[in-house]
Amino acid sequence: MTNDKTANGLHAGTRDYRYCTVEDTGRIRIVTLNRPDVMNALHSEASHELERVWDDFAVRDDLWVGIVTGAGDRAFSAGNDLKVQAAGKRGPRPRSGFGGLTCRFEMHKPVIAAVNGIAMGGGFEMALACDLIVASENAVFALPEPRVGMIAGAGGVHRLPRMIPLKQALGMILTGRRVSAKEGRDLGFVNEVVAPGEALAAAQRWAQMILECSPMSVRASKEAVYRGLDEPSLEKAVTTVYPAHQANLDSQDYIEGPKAFAEKRKPNWQNR
């Protein structure tokens, strides 16, 4: 049964939020970090709000792909709101991590980062926690935490070396240097670079391509990729059937895909 409402009976996309906006369009949820006056930097309260947004997305059967972006064209997110932290108002981080994303390891639905402008510190870590990154030409990525006496502890020091060559990752992590969208693509953590102002549209285009596929197959594939990378050997990864894979094998979509192919029509995915 489709769980298309939240506990209070309202679609998450129709609620009012303080630190983000949420738009559900078809099967896609678009979450926009909405603190442009501080380059969409986030504090504890904002991260807790975003945790609720992504919790709702995770359980909604009618939503298959998520997109996160930032308000305005200056920044995706400048990361942790250091002014709030300096004022001694730093609160606890939610269980799902910075921005409600960086520690969300059981999210099998794909999430795309549409990076417009600066993505630094926790902002970059949020993007790295997504499955795809689409960046505008003016996007800038960095993990500058050592410059302010910190480390990129929301996953940056762990995810980046798993995505790009170790020496290149350390070159960014140990210096805090800024990397352009083009260099990010060359290094391998950016999927596509587009003209300024086009990141969200490009992310929606990627989302539409994902929506052509079985949602259960997509989630099974995502789970297998991430969990397989943590296995001690390739043999162990290949021979393990992970839970989402088994659910896909048992699903109506597993039958519908080959049937639609044989009948020369588009499949009607049931997501069950």
Q: What is the pLDDT along the chain (272 residues), one digit of tens a residue?
A: 334 344 333 444 446 899 999 999 999 999 999 999 999 999 999 999 999 999 999 999 999 999 999 999 899 999 988 777 665 556 678 999 999 999 999 999 999 999 999 999 999 999 999 999 999 999 999 999 999 899 999 999 999 999 999 999 999 999 999 999 999 999 999 999 999 999 999 999 999 999 999 999 999 999 999 999 999 999 999 999 999 999 999 999 999 999 999 999 999 998 88
Longest CA–CA separation in the chain, Å: 64
Q: Among candidates 146, 142, 109, 149, which has minimal Cα distance to 127?
A: 142
Tokens read off for 59: 């359980």
CATH architecture of 12-211: Alpha-Beta Complex (3.90)
49, 51, 106, 125: the catalytic one is 125
What is the DSSP pairing of strand 132-136 with strand 192-194?
A: parallel
Measured between alpha carbons, how far is 105 from 246 in angstroms, rounded to an integer? 19
**Domain locations in the chain?**
12-211, 215-262
Fold of 215-262: Lyase 2-enoyl-coa Hydratase; Chain  A, domain 2 (1.10.12)
Measured between alpha carbons, how far is 225 from 203 in angstroms, rounded to an integer? 21
Q: Among candidates 99, 101, 29, which has minimal Cα distance to 61?
A: 29
Tokens read off for 37: 């006056």
Q: Is 145 a catalytic residue?
A: yes
**Under 8 Å CB-to-CB from 19, ≥6 apart: which residues?**
33, 34, 35, 42, 45, 46, 49, 50
Measured between alpha carbons, how far is 66 from 63 in angstroms, rounded to an integer? 8
Q: How many CA atoms lie within 13 A of 15 on its CB side?
A: 19
145, 192, 198, 235: the catalytic one is 145
Is residue 241 exposed (0-12), middle (13-18) or buried (19+ Cβ within 10 Å)?
exposed
